[in-house]
């Protein structure tokens, strides 16, 4: 078996893997990046789940569906008459696929430009940092590495009571490929992915029912923000049923029959399509030979330290395949950190300032601790809130629902968390992330001049509100 040597071999070319490879190459290391992604039609593309069937295509459909919804329901308030708004789902899907193709091709170009040897094949870690690469034709070769970085990502969890059939019962990837809008859509799981996909098809005309086993809505989100968001989603027509545990789902002809328990009763729901969004699991099956020396936890995640080192010398792991939130940007920053550590630079990552975003309308975004978490820590704290209903820019956008909530330490004024439900929350949260990264105080945010009229003024006013200094809202 032929063998080739590199300073670094990265296994996986998603948002954790390809930045690792590019940064390592920028630092003067010889790098190979091995990726086994296959599309449903068998074609290969770089970018992993995020670019191919996750972040990018879902956001394309979210944007298209929101424009369609607004044209039919909001334009009249702006004095714009639109007669006969129609939906061309084929064109919408074609646009989505075009965006994906452009971005995945761009990754291939970036790898090549950086001098990375990009290999589309299956990689498996053996002992002594050797990676076995198996091509589409079945031939094998070995890559010997000074360092190996594992970045194989995650895949949807399948429920035994609702197995995927690829047609009526689908995962999140399948839900992005519907050729027609289902009249009745069921979604198991009212988390980030379930809400986003439910929003897409709900805006396009489906009657959507989301079945969530937990009694609490978005428990990882600040309770006040989650409560506000739930009200808005229900006003939009999303039927969100909490405490609903699915016990079985069976496709029969043109429909899916779902059995679930709620409130101590057996319930039944019939839909045309069912999306299962109950989380994701790490992709480690077949990745590690027994002699690799890499340890997994009970859930299949690769065990790493705070710097993403595994139990095997000079073997690292980043992204969805390790502990922490399954977020593309978290994996990217881990990969860059690891590349710099390999090259001998000082590098670390601040896990306390990783932002999260749900791209519904309204968007939900947060960074840092919730009020419940701060309270559980026993810290004395203060809270400032500001509603978008008092923000001129939000009013002009016809998107004045929601709020900004800031939590700060009462004694030291340190910003502990910031939470948003409202327009462009995913963009606004960056200001809070930057503030927390530099250990800014609420007063620092108060003293920062914000352009008028902008949505960012809501963050400014929330910071002022924490000290009962808000100008454009009552100080309670």
Active site residues: 452
265: exposed, middle or buried (Cβ count in 10 Å: 0-12, 13-18, 19+): exposed
Q: In whole angstroms, what is the distance from residue 394 CA to residue 389 CA?
A: 7
DSSP β-ladder status, 207-212 and 239-242: parallel
Cis link prior to 318 (omega < 30° from 0)? no
What end-to-end distance do the CA atoms of the chain give, in Å? Answer: 73
Element (H, E) at 386: strand 381-387
DSSP β-ladder status, 280-282 and 154-156: antiparallel
Q: Quote helix, strand, coil % in the chain, to nearest 5.
A: 35, 30, 40
Residue (of 417, 428, 418, 426) closest to 454 by Cα position:
428
Structure tokens at 291: 């002699």
Q: Are 3 and 32 in contact (CB under 8 A)?
A: no
- Exposure string over 119-149, b if 16+ CB within 10 A, otherwise e: bbbbbbbbeebbbbbeeeeeeeeebebebbb
Residue 139's SS3 state is coil
Q: In whole angstroms, what is the distance from residue 323 CA to residue 316 CA?
A: 13
DSSP β-ladder status, 273-276 and 169-170: parallel
How many residues does this entry show for the chain? 476
DSSP 24-56: HHHTT--EEEEE----TTS---SSHHHHHHSHH
CA dihedral angle for residue 432, residue 419, residue 325, residue 66, rounded to 10 degrees: -100
Q: In whole angstroms, what is the distance from residue 40 CA to residue 175 CA?
A: 13
DSSP 342: H
């Amino acid at each position: 078996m032929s063998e080739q040597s590199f300073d670094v071999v990265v296994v996986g070319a998603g948002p954790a893997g390809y930045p690792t490879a590019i940064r390592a190459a920028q630092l003067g290391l010889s790098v190979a990046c091995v990726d086994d992604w296959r599309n449903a039609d068998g074609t290969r593309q770089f970018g992993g789940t995020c670019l191919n069937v996750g972040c990018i295509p879902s956001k394309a459909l979210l944007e298209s569906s929101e424009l369609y919804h607004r044209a039919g329901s909001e334009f009249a308030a702006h004095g714009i008459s639109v007669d006969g708004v129609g939906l061309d789902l084929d064109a919408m899907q074609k646009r989505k696929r075009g965006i994906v193709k452009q971005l995945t091709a761009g990754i291939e170009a970036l790898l090549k430009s950086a001098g990375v040897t990009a290999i589309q094949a299956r990689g498996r870690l053996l002992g002594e940092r050797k990676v076995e690469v198996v091509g589409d034709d079945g031939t094998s070769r070995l890559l010997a590495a000074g360092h190996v970085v594992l970045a194989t990502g995650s895949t949807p969890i399948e429920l035994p009571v609702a197995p995927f059939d690829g047609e009526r019962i689908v995962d999140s990837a399948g839900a992005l490929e519907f050729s027609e809008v289902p009249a009745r859509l069921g979604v198991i799981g009212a988390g980030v992915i379930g809400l986003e996909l439910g929003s897409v098809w709900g805006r396009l005309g489906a009657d959507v029912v989301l079945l969530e086993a937990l009694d609490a809505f978005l428990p990882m989100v600040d309770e006040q923000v989650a409560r506000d968001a739930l009200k808005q989603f229900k006003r939009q027509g999303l039927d969100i049923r909490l405490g609903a545990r699915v016990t079985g789902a069976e496709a029969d002809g043109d429909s899916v029959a779902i059995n679930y328990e709620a409130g101590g009763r057996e319930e039944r729901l019939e839909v045309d399509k069912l999306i299962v969004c109950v989380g994701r699991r790490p992709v480690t099956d077949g990745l590690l030979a027994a002699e690799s020396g890499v340890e997994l936890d009970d859930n299949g995640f690769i065990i790493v330290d705070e710097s993403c080192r595994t139990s095997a010398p000079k073997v690292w792991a980043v992204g969805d395949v390790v502990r922490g939130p399954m977020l593309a940007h978290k994996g990217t920053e881990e990969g860059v950190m690891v590349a710099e550590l390999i090259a001998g630079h000082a590098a670390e990552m601040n896990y306390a300032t990783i932002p999260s975003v749900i791209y519904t309308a309204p968007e939900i975004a947060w960074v840092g601790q919730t009020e419940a978490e701060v309270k559980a820590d026993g810290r004395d704290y203060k809270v400032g809130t500001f509603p978008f209903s008092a923000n001129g820019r939000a009013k002009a956008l016809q998107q004045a629902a929601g709020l900004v909530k800031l939590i700060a330490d009462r004694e030291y004024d340190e910003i502990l968390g910031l939470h948003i439900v409202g327009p462009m929350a995913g963009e606004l949260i960056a200001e809070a992330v930057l503030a927390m990264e530099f250990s800014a105080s609420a007063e620092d945010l108060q003293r920062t001049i914000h352009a008028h009229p902008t949505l960012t003024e809501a963050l400014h006013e929330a910071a002022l509100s924490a000290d009962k200094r808000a100008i454009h809202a009552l100080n309670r």
